[in-house]
Amino acid sequence: MATQVQNTPKDALNSKLREFFIEQLQDIYWAEKKLVKTLPKLSDAAHSDELRAAFDSHLTETEGHVSRLEQVFDLLGEKAEAKECPALKGIAEEGEEIIDETENSTAQRDVGLIFAGQKAEHYEIATYGALLQLAKEMGQSEIADLLSQTLAEEKKADEKLTELATSGINRDAAQETAD
């Protein structure tokens, strides 16, 4: 069990805020573990080599996010437990529907995969941003640093997906003819 970060307000150690913080950590922990399983499916379904590489790269980062969250739980003296995240579960299911409902090897599928990826990234960005603020409020600077690293990586992944969409994938899909 790790030692508590100094300057932690006494009332934050056993507060409703800490309880909520842990619940939200459990939620994003489940989400990250789900993404470790989902990103390879998105990569396999991608037509664009660049999109496939982006998903593969983010898989490695996501494995790191899982490890960072385990460090956060340790710093809090808590067991790393996942609590199903309905939001990410739905986003992952939507990604699978996109794969099922689009033609293989098309830019249209890649557009859909980018949509699914960005929905996941935006959920993660919102969650990590809020968790970061709570960690600061509770005086947990080491935890805040870990969450800040992950938040920066999530923002970078989202920017990469936007770059891929606007550098040609959207245009390519617009030129594909409907059956």
CA distances from 156 to 29, 47, 90, 137, 138 (A): 19, 22, 23, 25, 27
> Over 70: is that where the pLDDT of 83 sits?
yes
Least confident span in 66-75, 76-85, 169-178:
169-178
Neighbour-count burial for 74-102, b at 16+ CB within 10 Å, e otherwise: ebbeeebebeebeebeebbeebeebbeeb
Give the separation between CA 96 and CA 118, rounded to whole angstroms: 14
What pLDDT is attached to residue 104?
A: 94
User: Which helix (H) or strand (E) covers residue 156, if one does?
Assistant: helix 141-164
Give the separation between CA 141 and CA 3, rounded to whole angstroms: 13
Mean pLDDT value across the chain:
92
> Over 70: is that where the pLDDT of 23 sits?
yes
- List the domain boundaries for the chain: 14-174
Residue count of the chain, please give it: 179
User: Which helix (H) or strand (E) covers residue 79, if one does?
Assistant: none
pLDDT digits (tens, 9 = 90+) for 49-69: 999 999 999 999 999 999 999
Question: Does domain 14-174 bear CATH number 1.20.1260.10?
Answer: yes
Residue pointed to by tokens 């699914």: 116
> Over 60: is that where the pLDDT of 3 sits?
no
